[in-house]
Amino acid sequence: MLTKRAMTTATPPLPGAYAGKLLRVDLSKKKCWAEPWSPADMRDYLGGAGLGAIILYRETATRGGKGNVAWDHPDNRLVLATGPLAGLPVWGTGALTVVTIGAMTNGPTSTQANGFFGTNLKYCGYDAIVIQGQSKDWVYLYINDDVLELRDAKSLIGLDTWEMQDALNRETGLSGHQLSVYGIGPAGENLVRFAAIHGDYGHVASKNGVGAVMGKKKLKAVAIVKGTRALKAADYRGTVQAADDIAHDLRTDPSAKSLYEYGTLPGVVNLGKLGALPIKNYTTNVPYDDLTNWEAPKLREGFDHRGHQCNACGMHHCHMQVIRGGDFKGSIVDEPEYEGWSGAGWAIGARDKEGVSWLNTQLDRACVDVNEWGWLCGWVMECQERGLITEKQLGFRLQWGDIKGSDRLLQMVNRRQGFGDVLAEGVKRAAEKLGGAAKDAAIYTMQGCSPRGHDHRARWEEMLDTCTSSTGTLESGVPVHVTELGLPARINPFAGEEVAMMVAGIRGRRHFEDSIGICIFTGRTRLENLCRALNAATGWNYTVDESMRFGRRVAAIFRATRLRCGIGPDLEKPSVRYGSTPHDGPAKGQAIGAQWAKMIDLWYEKVGYDRKTGKPSPKTLKDLGLDWLAKDLWGRKA
Partner 1 sequence: MARRHLIIGGGTAGMNAIRTIREEEAERSEIMLVSAEKPYSRMVLPYYLDRSISESHVFTATAAVLAEWGAKTHLGRRATNLDTKASVCTLDDGTRLEYDDCLIATGSSAVKAPVPGAELPGVHSFWTLDQCRALIADVKPGGHVVMVGAGFISFTILNSILSLGAKLTIVEIAPRILPRMIDDTGASLVEDWLTRHGVTIRTDARLNKIEDAKGKKRLKFAKGGDLTCDAVIMATGIRTNLEWLKGSGIRVNQGVVVDDHLRSNVANVYAAGDVAEGPDRLSKSGVVHAIEPTAQEHGRVVGANMAGRGVGYAGSLVMNIVEVCHLDVASFGAWDDGKAEATVGVKRDRHAYRKLLWTDDRLSGAIILGPSSDIWTTNDVGMLKGLVQSQVPLARFKAYLKTNPFDIKPAFIAVKTAGRLLPETVLGRPAKAPGETPVAV
Partner 2 sequence: MSILKITPERCTGCLRCELACSYMQTGEYQPAKSVIRVSPFEGHTSYAPYTCVQCAEGWCMTACPVGAITINAAGAKDVVDDRCVGCKLCTIACPYGTMFYDPDTRKAFKCNLCGGDPACAHACPTAAITYEDVATSDWLADFAAERTQRLLVGV
Q: Note the residues at the interface with partner 2 (CB under 8 A).
A: 87-89, 91, 116, 119, 123, 175-177, 201, 226-233, 236, 240, 247, 306-314, 316, 320-322, 332
Q: Is 173 in the site for partner 1 (CB under 8 A)?
A: yes
Residues 580, 585, 397: CA angle, nearest 5 degrees: 70
Residue 174 binds: one of partner 1, partner 2, none (C-beta under 5 to 8 A by kind): partner 1
Backbone φ and ψ of 602, nearest 5°: -65, -40
Q: In whole angstroms, how close is the CB of 122 to partner 2 at the nearest point?
A: 9
Q: In whole angstroms, how close is the CB of 80 to partner 2 at the nearest point?
A: 20
Given a contact cutoff of 8 angstroms between Cβ atoms, the answer to whether 223 and 148 are in contact is no
Given a contact cutoff of 8 angstroms between Cβ atoms, the answer to whether 168 and 343 are in contact is no
Residue among 134 and 172 whose Cβ is closer to partner 1? 172
Instruction: Give the range of 144-152, 273-281, 295-303, 405-413 binding partner 1 by CB under 8 A.
Output: 144-152
DSSP letter for 425, please.
Answer: T
Residue 447 binds: one of partner 1, partner 2, none (C-beta under 5 to 8 A by kind): none
Residue among 215 and 340 whose Cβ is closer to partner 2? 340
Residue among 276 and 318 whose Cβ is closer to partner 2? 318
Given a contact cutoff of 8 angstroms between Cβ atoms, the answer to whether 227 and 174 are in contact is no
Of positions 3, 28, 62, 175, contacts partner 1 by CB under 8 A: 175
SS (H, E, C) 74-120: CCCCEEEECCCCCCCCCCCCCCEEEEEECCCCCCEEEEEECCCHHHH
Of positions 178, 241, 411, 580, contacts partner 1 by CB under 8 A: 178
Of positions 198, 203, 217, 226, contacts partner 1 by CB under 8 A: 226
Residue 302 binds: one of partner 2, partner 1, none (C-beta under 5 to 8 A by kind): none
Pairing label, strands 139-144, 219-225? parallel
Residue among 170 and 588 whose Cβ is closer to partner 1? 170
| Length of the chain (residues) | 638
Residue among 175 and 252 whose Cβ is closer to partner 1? 175
Residue 289 binds: one of partner 1, partner 2, none (C-beta under 5 to 8 A by kind): none
C-beta neighbour count of 404 within 10 angstroms: 13
Query: Residue 453 to residues 40, 217, 272: CA-CA distances in angstroms?
Result: 39, 29, 12
Pairing label, strands 67-68, 78-81? unpaired
Region for 173 from its dihedrals, namely left if φ exceeds 0, alpha if ψ lies in -120 to 50, beta otherwise: left
Q: In whole angstroms, how close is the CB of 78 to partner 2 at the nearest point?
A: 26
Residue among 317 and 573 whose Cβ is closer to partner 2? 317
Partners of residue 304 on adjacent β-strands: 322
Residue 172 binds: one of partner 1, partner 2, none (C-beta under 5 to 8 A by kind): partner 1
Q: In whole angstroms, how close is the CB of 357 to partner 2 at the nearest point?
A: 14
Give CA–CA dist 110/51, Å, rounded: 11
Sheet arrangement for strand 147-152? 147-152, 139-144, 219-225, 179-183, 197-199, 203-205
Q: In whole angstroms, how close is the CB of 147 to partner 1 at the nearest point?
A: 7
Of positions 28, 31, 147, 583, contacts partner 1 by CB under 8 A: 147
Residue among 105 and 119 whose Cβ is closer to partner 1? 119
Residue 173 binds: one of partner 2, partner 1, none (C-beta under 5 to 8 A by kind): partner 1
Query: Residue 369 to residues 319, 324, 414: CA-CA distances in angstroms?
Result: 19, 26, 12
Residue 170 binds: one of partner 2, partner 1, none (C-beta under 5 to 8 A by kind): partner 1
Q: Is 230 in the site for partner 1 (CB under 8 A)?
A: no
For residue 34, the surrounding DSSP H or E stretch is strand 31-36
Residue among 36 and 176 whose Cβ is closer to partner 2? 176
Query: Smallest Cα–Cα separation from 341: which of 324, 360, 321?
Result: 360
In 308-406 the beta strands, taken as DSSP E runs, fall at: 319-322, 332-334
Instruction: Give the range of 139-147, 448-456, 552-560, 578-586 binding partner 1 by CB under 8 A.
Output: 139-147
Instruction: Give the range of 167-175, 267-275, 366-374, 520-528 binding partner 1 by CB under 8 A.
Output: 167-175
Of positions 228, 252, 399, 417, contacts partner 1 by CB under 8 A: 228
Residue among 72 and 145 whose Cβ is closer to partner 1? 145
Q: In whole angstroms, how close is the CB of 165 to partner 1 at the nearest point?
A: 14
Q: Is 174 in the site for partner 1 (CB under 8 A)?
A: yes
Of positions 170, 251, 324, 329, contacts partner 1 by CB under 8 A: 170
Q: Is 234 in the site for partner 1 (CB under 8 A)?
A: no
SS (H, E, C) 486-535: CCCCCCCCCCHHHHHHHHHHCCCHHHHHHHHCCCCCCCCCCHHHHHHHHH
Give CA–CA dist 509/547, Å, rounded: 7
Sheet arrangement for strand 21-26? 31-36, 21-26, 128-132, 78-81, 96-101, 108-113
Pairing label, strands 147-152, 304-307? unpaired
Residue type, 403: I
Q: In whole angstroms, how close is the CB of 512 to partner 2 at the nearest point?
A: 22
Instruction: Give the range of 173-181, 282-290, 390-398, 501-509 binding partner 1 by CB under 8 A.
Output: 173-181
Q: In whole angstroms, how close is the CB of 147 to partner 2 at the nearest point?
A: 15
Q: In whole angstroms, how close is the CB of 170 to partner 1 at the nearest point?
A: 7
Which residues of this chain interact with partner 1, rule CB under 8 A? Answer: 144-145, 147, 170, 172-175, 178, 226, 228
